[in-house]
Copies of this chain bind each other. A is one copy, B any other.
């Protein structure tokens, strides 16, 4: 199918590569045009506006930083809304608010287009390997239409019904659980460290028994590396996601005290100048709060 791709950050570029590799003709757009070049070298066409990336597409994937960026690409000048053909599908892969997903679904439906939410779990390494997990929700026919894209991008797709926002809430819930895990590990490791316990051995115990799961392997390794790893997911993005989870929870009237603690920890991380570090910098915040340098 003819595909457009908008938003070529680390995750977006890797996903676009997978779509190209699966044989779909691809037109790409990125605000900073230079980021599109490597894909052009692989055969993608470069568009100068979101509209241009949408005009002939059967589906357009967006992978952007936040609600504002997505609103801009859809509703702004030379945006998707005026250009996407009737019946074509906007596949929203960004981690955005449930409210934004509902706004987009309404606008696309009113324009005779279709919208599905398709946020993904996985860091850029997983995206390059086609190992993402895709969370999908939207009208049945549209879900069927984008199946080839989902298989190009991910190893498995999980469906959550006809309301696109459901996929976004699932994604926010999952990211909340990751944030909670990182903060809990940060506290436990700090306790171990200040009690004279070998933290590496403690981590090995956890990840070879109770918590022998991909997320624990990845994040304990990053925590033990001291939060200085090349960030593939920054504290600033972590804050954004837990803020969106709390907003969805407020709408649904659900108190989430652990989410509040994680949010406070991220705010403190940003206040200390750690916003652009990997989110495991929460380990450093916990250590500093315990008087460690």
Contacts and interface: CB of A to CB of B under 8 A. Distances in A.
A194 B133 CA distance: 24
A18 interface: no
A252 B191 contact: yes
A214 B212 contact: yes
B177 A254 contact: no
Given A173-B202, A268-B289, A166 B195 contact: yes
Interface stretch (A5-13, A42-50, A270-278): A270-278
Contacts of A256: 187, 190-191, 264
Interface stretch (A82-90, A104-112, A156-164): A156-164
A173 B192 contact: yes
**Most chain B CB inside 10 Å of its own CB: which residue of A208, A259, A260, A272:** A260
B258 A183 contact: yes
Contact of A255 (B184, B192, B255, B267): B267
Given A173-B192, A204-B158, A212-B214, A187 B289 contact: no
The binding surface of chain A is classed by DSSP as helix
Interface stretch (A19-27, A70-78, A139-147, A242-250): A242-250
Nearest to A211: B213
A250 to B, nearest CB: 6
A263 interface: yes
Indicate how many identical chains form the complex. 4
B290 A271 contact: yes
A153 interface: no
Given A177-B211, A184-B180, A255 B268 contact: yes
A205 interface: yes
A33 interface: no
Contact of A201 (B158, B201, B253): B158
Given A265-B255, A267-B249, A191 B210 contact: no
Given A176-B184, A194-B252, A257-B257, 17 more contacts: A135-B205, A158-B205, A160-B202, A166-B197, A177-B188, A177-B211, A180-B258, A187-B254, A187-B256, A187-B257, A187-B258, A191-B248, A194-B254, A210-B215, A255-B264, A255-B267, A260-B263
Query: 6 closest pairs, A vs B, by CB?
Result: A213-B213, A271-B291, A260-B260, A180-B184, A253-B271, A194-B252
9 contacts: A163-B196, A169-B195, A178-B210, A210-B214, A253-B270, A253-B271, A255-B289, A260-B263, A271-B289
Interface of A: 98, 121, 133, 135, 156, 158-161, 163, 165-166, 169-170, 173-174, 176-178, 180-181, 183-185, 187-188, 190-192, 194-198, 201-202, 204-206, 208-216, 239, 243, 245, 248-250, 252-261, 263-265, 267-268, 270-273, 286, 289-291
